[in-house]
Structure 1
């Protein structure tokens, strides 16, 4: 495992933030996986920080639902049961539909056209390259664009807290990426037409499609 040199001039908050973002990035790009145990010493070496910064980042990620803490075992990346997955998707469906409807209601071509189309183009390019980490980053930018266009500050605050990043890491595959790309095209089409009813339906349909594929996925023994 590669390590980084510690930056002794960095503040504790900055060091903790480096670990926090690093774990999220490594989870998104497949270098960490749900269920993986985490060792403080290895994380400190990997991100070039002290163990206190690692502990602080782990506590923050636990509060966000990314890491499971157990007093008798080392921390682990959260692994969702099927029931937990369906609960997350239930919340995600409602919030995604709200995000797509809000984006359609507030969309203006001169203000938002380039942003929306460029983020969709990122998703298309990532799909062509068939690289999961690249697709995950593009998907994140796509949703960020929807939230920016919609302008709902409370939704912008709450949306990242949904545990979809765990679902994305836990359930991968070409079929899921293909359905996401097709659904994103439908969402964009409705938004640019400022058709909030169709955009809301497209948001609902997207999460339902993801749920159907996940439920059909063979479960691990």
Structure 2
């Protein structure tokens, strides 16, 4: 959705605000697939798309490049990040270890009030799954994402920065696309509930074990659904097109109704 073009003479503050808005809009467009993985787009196209001048656009692009969501190409524009299967599985290996640690720390440090909020969040997630007849587990980012909340519950700034910065948004591009497996939404919710139960019981060892197993299951699901193909980059919509509705879902653009599940 274009940003209103009110950019004739930008003050430094206005430029910063515009850069923030473009950064957020582009990041979400990349995650949702509206800016397709591997696509090359010129700065002129992006400036027109978001209704901004080159100054705030380039600041937004600098931040996106810092998160490894794009690569800037001199005299061309940008290329949207795409991962190979090997790269994605390696990221999940890192997540398995670090989010397991986050769970252990959350069991030690998460206040009762935060645990109560997380319980309420899972109730909403259960209602949402029921509304979709158990077919999808939709989560957006931030405070409505179970994993995000658990990571912040660790109260470890270094760990939060590592998991909720670059890794978090790179994984968001792919994780929902590989979660469309029969029975998986209910299974994932049950796993989240068991993890939260362990955190509430202040059993850090069990919480860590359950989170590691949860992410390992997601990693195995990805590996099983995408055959290795050397260093070829993954199409985040591949798993959708491999299902029974493949002929009806051949577009590479992710729709607003696409599932986004954290695992």
- TM-score with structure 1 setting the length: 0.83
Of 45, 56, 62, the match for 1:59: 62
> How many pairs does the alignment contain?
219
Mapping for residues 128-147 of structure 1, pairs under 5 Å: 128-130=130-132, 134-137=138-141, 141-147=145-151
- Indicate if the aligned counterparts of 2:100 and 2:207 stay in contact, CA closer than 8 A: yes
Unaligned runs of 5+ in 2: 233-263
Which deviations, in whole Å up to 9, do the C-alpha atoms of 1:135-193 show, x marking residues without a partner?
23378632332133221122222221343433332351422655533321221121111
Instruction: Give 1:159's aligned residue.
Output: 163
Of 114, 135, 141, the match for 1:112: 114
SS at 2:72 equivalent: strand
Sort the Cα spacing of 1:200 and 1:14 in 2 relative to 1 into closer, same or farther, 3 A.
same
- The whole-number CA distance in structure 2 between the counterparts of 1:37 and 1:89 is 26
Per-residue deviation, 1:99:
1.1
RMSD: 2.8
Unaligned runs of 5+ in 1: none
Per-residue deviation, 1:206:
1.5
- The whole-number CA distance in structure 2 between the counterparts of 1:205 and 1:190 is 14
- Indicate if the aligned counterparts of 1:126 and 1:138 stay in contact, CA closer than 8 A: no
Instruction: Give 1:187's aligned residue.
Output: 195
SS at 2:57 equivalent: helix
Mapping for residues 51-130 of structure 1, pairs under 5 Å: 51-71=54-74, 73-109=76-112, 111-130=113-132
- Indicate if the aligned counterparts of 2:70 and 2:78 stay in contact, CA closer than 8 A: yes
Instruction: Give 2:43's aligned residue.
Output: 40
Which structure shows the higher helix fraction?
Answer: 1
Which deviations, in whole Å up to 9, do the C-alpha atoms of 1:41-70 show, x marking residues without a partner?
332233332122112211211111111233
